[in-house]
Amino acid sequence: MTDHVDRVMAQWRRERPDLDPAPQGVIARLHRIANRLTEELVAVYASHGLAEGEFDILATLRRQGAPYALTAGELAAQTMVTSGAITKRVDRCLARGWVSRSPSDIDARGRVIALTEEGRALIDAAFADHLANEHRLLRLFDDADRELLAALLARWSEELDL
Protein backbone atom coordinates (compact mmCIF):
# COMPACT_ATOMS: atom_id res chain seq x y z
CA MET A 1 0.00 0.00 0.00
CA THR A 2 1.37 3.38 -1.04
CA ASP A 3 0.06 6.66 0.31
CA HIS A 4 0.85 10.32 -0.28
CA VAL A 5 3.65 10.28 2.28
CA ASP A 6 5.29 7.26 0.63
CA ARG A 7 5.25 9.12 -2.68
CA VAL A 8 6.75 12.26 -1.12
CA MET A 9 9.49 10.24 0.56
CA ALA A 10 10.30 8.46 -2.72
CA GLN A 11 10.61 11.82 -4.45
CA TRP A 12 13.00 13.06 -1.77
CA ARG A 13 15.06 9.85 -1.98
CA ARG A 14 15.35 10.41 -5.72
CA GLU A 15 16.16 14.13 -5.46
CA ARG A 16 18.30 14.02 -2.31
CA PRO A 17 19.75 10.52 -1.93
CA ASP A 18 22.19 11.97 0.60
CA LEU A 19 19.32 12.54 3.08
CA ASP A 20 17.15 10.04 4.93
CA PRO A 21 13.45 11.06 4.74
CA ALA A 22 12.35 8.17 7.00
CA PRO A 23 11.13 10.49 9.81
CA GLN A 24 8.49 11.80 7.41
CA GLY A 25 6.92 8.35 7.58
CA VAL A 26 5.88 9.24 11.13
CA ILE A 27 5.88 13.04 11.30
CA ALA A 28 4.08 13.76 8.02
CA ARG A 29 1.49 11.07 8.69
CA LEU A 30 0.86 12.37 12.21
CA HIS A 31 0.46 15.87 10.84
CA ARG A 32 -1.99 14.75 8.16
CA ILE A 33 -3.92 12.61 10.65
CA ALA A 34 -4.04 15.45 13.19
CA ASN A 35 -5.51 17.79 10.58
CA ARG A 36 -8.14 15.23 9.62
CA LEU A 37 -8.95 14.46 13.25
CA THR A 38 -9.48 18.15 13.92
CA GLU A 39 -12.00 18.28 11.06
CA GLU A 40 -13.81 15.24 12.44
CA LEU A 41 -13.88 16.59 16.00
CA VAL A 42 -14.96 20.10 15.04
CA ALA A 43 -17.90 18.70 13.07
CA VAL A 44 -19.29 17.14 16.25
CA TYR A 45 -18.82 20.36 18.22
CA ALA A 46 -20.60 22.29 15.47
CA SER A 47 -23.53 19.88 15.60
CA HIS A 48 -24.08 21.22 19.12
CA GLY A 49 -23.59 24.85 18.11
CA LEU A 50 -20.10 24.99 19.57
CA ALA A 51 -16.78 26.13 18.15
CA GLU A 52 -13.65 24.27 19.22
CA GLY A 53 -12.66 26.96 21.77
CA GLU A 54 -16.12 27.03 23.31
CA PHE A 55 -16.15 23.25 23.63
CA ASP A 56 -12.76 23.48 25.34
CA ILE A 57 -14.00 26.05 27.87
CA LEU A 58 -17.18 24.15 28.72
CA ALA A 59 -15.42 20.77 28.91
CA THR A 60 -12.67 22.18 31.13
CA LEU A 61 -15.21 23.63 33.54
CA ARG A 62 -17.36 20.47 33.52
CA ARG A 63 -14.52 18.10 34.35
CA GLN A 64 -13.70 20.12 37.47
CA GLY A 65 -16.76 18.77 39.26
CA ALA A 66 -19.22 20.89 41.19
CA PRO A 67 -19.38 23.87 41.28
CA TYR A 68 -17.88 23.68 37.73
CA ALA A 69 -15.92 26.89 38.12
CA LEU A 70 -12.39 28.22 37.64
CA THR A 71 -10.71 31.58 37.58
CA ALA A 72 -9.75 32.95 34.19
CA GLY A 73 -6.11 32.24 35.03
CA GLU A 74 -6.86 28.64 35.93
CA LEU A 75 -8.82 28.25 32.70
CA ALA A 76 -5.87 29.61 30.73
CA ALA A 77 -3.49 27.18 32.43
CA GLN A 78 -5.74 24.16 31.93
CA THR A 79 -6.55 24.93 28.30
CA MET A 80 -3.02 26.11 27.44
CA VAL A 81 -4.12 29.23 25.60
CA THR A 82 -3.40 32.87 26.34
CA SER A 83 -5.49 34.93 28.73
CA GLY A 84 -6.62 37.00 25.74
CA ALA A 85 -7.92 33.90 24.00
CA ILE A 86 -9.65 32.83 27.22
CA THR A 87 -11.38 36.21 27.44
CA LYS A 88 -12.71 35.91 23.88
CA ARG A 89 -13.88 32.33 24.40
CA VAL A 90 -15.50 33.12 27.73
CA ASP A 91 -17.20 36.20 26.27
CA ARG A 92 -18.75 34.05 23.52
CA CYS A 93 -19.92 31.48 26.07
CA LEU A 94 -21.24 34.23 28.33
CA ALA A 95 -23.24 35.76 25.47
CA ARG A 96 -24.85 32.36 24.80
CA GLY A 97 -25.74 31.83 28.46
CA TRP A 98 -23.46 28.83 28.91
CA VAL A 99 -21.26 30.37 31.62
CA SER A 100 -21.44 33.10 34.22
CA ARG A 101 -18.64 35.41 35.33
CA SER A 102 -18.48 36.77 38.87
CA PRO A 103 -15.89 38.40 41.14
CA SER A 104 -13.56 36.03 42.96
CA ASP A 105 -14.05 35.68 46.71
CA ILE A 106 -10.26 35.36 47.06
CA ASP A 107 -9.07 38.17 44.78
CA ALA A 108 -11.39 41.09 44.03
CA ARG A 109 -9.55 41.73 40.76
CA GLY A 110 -10.05 38.15 39.59
CA ARG A 111 -13.11 36.66 37.94
CA VAL A 112 -14.58 33.20 38.37
CA ILE A 113 -16.08 31.53 35.34
CA ALA A 114 -18.76 28.93 36.08
CA LEU A 115 -21.00 26.71 34.00
CA THR A 116 -24.67 27.58 33.97
CA GLU A 117 -27.26 24.81 33.97
CA GLU A 118 -27.71 25.38 30.24
CA GLY A 119 -23.95 25.14 29.73
CA ARG A 120 -23.74 21.96 31.75
CA ALA A 121 -26.56 20.30 29.80
CA LEU A 122 -24.94 21.35 26.54
CA ILE A 123 -21.46 20.06 27.37
CA ASP A 124 -22.84 16.82 28.78
CA ALA A 125 -24.60 16.11 25.47
CA ALA A 126 -21.70 17.36 23.35
CA PHE A 127 -19.12 15.38 25.32
CA ALA A 128 -21.09 12.15 25.00
CA ASP A 129 -21.17 12.63 21.22
CA HIS A 130 -17.49 13.64 21.24
CA LEU A 131 -16.47 10.40 22.95
CA ALA A 132 -18.63 8.34 20.59
CA ASN A 133 -16.87 10.10 17.72
CA GLU A 134 -13.44 9.39 19.19
CA HIS A 135 -14.35 5.71 19.58
CA ARG A 136 -15.44 5.71 15.92
CA LEU A 137 -12.18 7.30 14.83
CA LEU A 138 -10.17 4.63 16.67
CA ARG A 139 -12.28 1.66 15.58
CA LEU A 140 -9.47 0.42 13.32
CA PHE A 141 -7.42 -0.49 16.41
CA ASP A 142 -8.10 -3.20 18.96
CA ASP A 143 -7.66 -2.52 22.67
CA ALA A 144 -4.01 -3.59 22.70
CA ASP A 145 -3.14 -1.37 19.72
CA ARG A 146 -4.91 1.62 21.30
CA GLU A 147 -3.06 1.10 24.57
CA LEU A 148 0.28 0.78 22.77
CA LEU A 149 -0.38 3.85 20.65
CA ALA A 150 -1.46 5.86 23.71
CA ALA A 151 1.68 4.76 25.60
CA LEU A 152 3.99 5.65 22.71
CA LEU A 153 2.38 9.05 22.27
CA ALA A 154 2.49 9.71 26.02
CA ARG A 155 6.21 8.91 26.05
CA TRP A 156 6.79 11.22 23.09
CA SER A 157 4.68 13.97 24.67
CA GLU A 158 6.74 13.76 27.84
CA GLU A 159 9.95 14.02 25.83
CA LEU A 160 8.60 17.13 24.09
CA ASP A 161 7.42 18.63 27.40
CA LEU A 162 3.79 18.75 26.27
Per-residue pLDDT of 6-17, as tens digits, reads 999 999 999 999
Indicate the pTM of the whole model.
Answer: 0.88
CATH hierarchy code of domain 50-162: 1.10.10.10
Residues of the chain with pLDDT under 70: 107-108
* Domain edges within the chain: 50-162
Q: Packing angle between helix 72-79 and helix 52-62, nearest 10 degrees?
A: 110
Task: Return all residues near 41 (Cβ < 8 A) that are at least 6 apart.
Answer: 52, 130, 133, 134
Per-residue pLDDT of 28-61, as tens digits, reads 999 999 999 999 999 999 999 999 999 999 999 9
